Amino acid sequence: MAGFLMLLIVAAAAAGFFVNWRAAQVLRNGGVRLHSMTAFHGAYAALIAALPAFIFLLIWLALRDGAIMAIVMSGLPDGAYPADDAGARSLVQSEIRSLADGNVFGTPADYMLVAAERLNSLRWVGDVLMAFGVAAILGFGLWRARRSIAPQFRARQRVEQILSGVMIFCAASAILVTVGITASLVFESLRFFAKVPVTEFLFGLNWEPQIPIREGQVAGAGAFGWVPVILGTLVITAIACAVAIPIGLMTAIYLNEFASPRLRNITKPLLEILAGVPTVVYGFFAILVVAPAMRDFAATIGVAVSPNIALAAGGVMGIMLIPFISSFADDALSAVPRSLRDGSLALGATRGETVRKVLFPAAIPGIVGGVLLAVSRAIGETMIVVMAAGLIATLTINPLDSVTTVTVQIVTLLIGDTSFDNPKTLAAFALGLMLFIVTLGLNIIALRVVRKYREIYD
């Protein structure tokens, strides 16, 4: 239905364009001087008909299901589900939905069948209303556009106004996304903090989110202190940085100062491949190759390590970050003015001394910015750790042990769980909020550092 209406809107826009365009041409051929070119009259008709209809359709589709369900639920008899239990409510909703789709399991209560029937009829009514609404808006728009054709009608200005409005909205959508992220994270986190005190979350040393979901289920009492989780994140981030920063920097220095242009041209695309590999591939690489290799090596030298050794996840993450750091450092080194380099070399410094004592200090702000961005990436990186790091939060900084990270916890808490009313799911949003704040802070500092550095030489 929605697809058909979308086509209808496109067709109406095309028709409106053509009709108005022809009408304007007829007017012009009659010897009248038009204010705007004929194509603008056509475009005006297309925009004024299609744009409102399109917006109407989107809003309708976004709100339809929720509104219909609310009507259906309000029609249920009292006591059909416990009034304050969101889980039971969503269960009833999905049962009504599947009944309405014709999947009957067992013998549902009569009022459920009535509700399902009601849902179906409301859906039908909704579709008819939506179709009529779209058609009416299109018709009105076309009619208005057709009436507006006149020699002095400022079609171009109107079209440009509408286009500017659309473009401003699109640009502002970036803000909308940020607002959406912040709002959803803060909102769900507040619900979490209503159940678990903030201080317990921030300073608690225990993270055991496996709480009983059903009554009488055997499970831990549940503890939501994020300290071991963030500590694990920091351990893995530290390992990743220990691999990526020296190797990335050395690679950048070598490529920038010592390598022949030919080697540069060959190796840079290869490094870009390393940067373009999806993280899920790195995760598989970690469990297929790196972790077994580390375990075998540890076994041969007689060290006991955990199967989900943090070194594997961190090391592979470091490999992923090498091209990231090296390209940032490369840019920073290349941005140092030629005169500094030439001056140093002219004084008799070797290439290595020039790099170490002149270029590197001058490039430090750019490199630091890149490193900060890399750290923020490592903290937010998900797939490698989900696949290769552990699930259990232990308060340790031993890289041979198994640690868990913020992102691992978010994913494991949310996979396969839809209800938004237990602390277990909501905890993921609280973790997400912390992750967002930390990475955002790092990014802002990094961009500041980079920008400040640019100002020195520009």
Partner 1 sequence: MTDISVDWASPAIADRVKKRHRADLWLKGGGMAALGFALLMLFILVASLVSTGADAFRQTHVTLDFDVSESRVSPDDIFKGNFRAIVNDAIEARFPEVTSRSDRRTLTGILSNGAQGAVRDAVFADPSLIGRSVTLTVPVSDPYDQLMKGLIKRDTPEANRRLKDNQIAWFDQLQAAGLVSKPINWALLSNADSRFPEIAGLKGALWGSFYALLVCFLISFPVGIAAAIYLEEFAPKNRLTDIIEININNLAAVPSVVFGLLALAVFIGWFGMPRSAPLVGGITLSLMTLPTIIIATRASLKGVPPSIREAALGVGASKHQVVLTHVLPLAMPGILTGTIIGLAQALGETAPLLLIGMNAFITSAPESLFQPATALPTQIFIWADSPERGFVSRTSAAILVLLTFLIAMNTLAVILRRRLERRW
Which residues within the stretch 299-328 sit at the binding site for partner 1 (CB under 8 A)? 319, 322-323, 326
Token reading at 388: 């290769």
Return the closest-CA partner of residue 242 out of 174, 328, 300, 319: 319
Quick one: 231 or 384, whose CB is closer to partner 1? 384
355, 358, 371, 389: residue in contact with partner 1 (rule CB under 8 A): 355
The reply to whether 360 sits near partner 1 by the rule CB under 8 A is no
**Least separation in angstroms between CB 186 and partner 1:** 10
Quick one: 177 or 205, whose CB is closer to partner 1? 177
Q: Quick check: 333 and 259 in contact, CB under 8 A?
A: no
Element (H, E) at 224: strand 223-224
Quick one: 136 or 288, whose CB is closer to partner 1? 288
Token reading at 135: 């058609």
The reply to whether 132 sits near partner 1 by the rule CB under 8 A is no
Part of the chain binding partner 1 (CB under 8 A), chosen from 147-155, 230-238, 306-314, 372-380:
372-380
DSSP state of 130: H
The reply to whether 346 sits near partner 1 by the rule CB under 8 A is no
Q: At what angle do helices 110-148 and 86-100 cross, to 10 degrees?
A: 80
Scan residues 390-449 and list those touching partner 1 (CB under 8 A): 407, 410-411, 414-416, 418, 420, 428-429, 432, 435-436, 439-440, 443-444, 447
**Least separation in angstroms between CB 436 and partner 1:** 5
Token reading at 219: 């499970």
Quick one: 201 or 429, whose CB is closer to partner 1? 429
What residues are paired with 402 via a beta bridge? none
Can you tell me which residue has the tokens 């009554």?
Answer: 215
Q: Quick check: 138 and 53 in contact, CB under 8 A?
A: yes
Part of the chain binding partner 1 (CB under 8 A), chosen from 100-108, 113-121, 122-130, 162-170:
162-170
Quick one: 28 or 154, whose CB is closer to partner 1? 154
Token reading at 302: 């007689």
Q: Quick check: 307 and 397 in contact, CB under 8 A?
A: no
Return the closest-CA partner of residue 238 out of 399, 59, 401: 399
The reply to whether 240 sits near partner 1 by the rule CB under 8 A is no
Token reading at 83: 């009034």
166, 202, 347, 391: residue in contact with partner 1 (rule CB under 8 A): 166
Return the closest-CA partner of residue 450 out of 393, 367, 383: 367
Q: Residues binding partner 1: what is the number (CB under 8 A)? A: 94
**Least separation in angstroms between CB 157 and partner 1:** 9
The reply to whether 381 sits near partner 1 by the rule CB under 8 A is yes
50, 142, 253, 393: residue in contact with partner 1 (rule CB under 8 A): 253
**Least separation in angstroms between CB 443 and partner 1:** 4
Quick one: 110 or 296, whose CB is closer to partner 1? 296
**Least separation in angstroms between CB 322 and partner 1:** 5
Scan residues 169-228 and list those touching partner 1 (CB under 8 A): 170-175, 177-178, 180-181, 184-185, 187-188
3-state secondary structure 235-265: HHHHHHHHHHHHHHHHHHHHHHHHCCHHHHH
Q: Quick check: 393 and 207 in contact, CB under 8 A?
A: yes
73, 211, 227, 287: residue in contact with partner 1 (rule CB under 8 A): 287
- Angle 139-141-142 from CA coordinates, rounded to 5°: 65
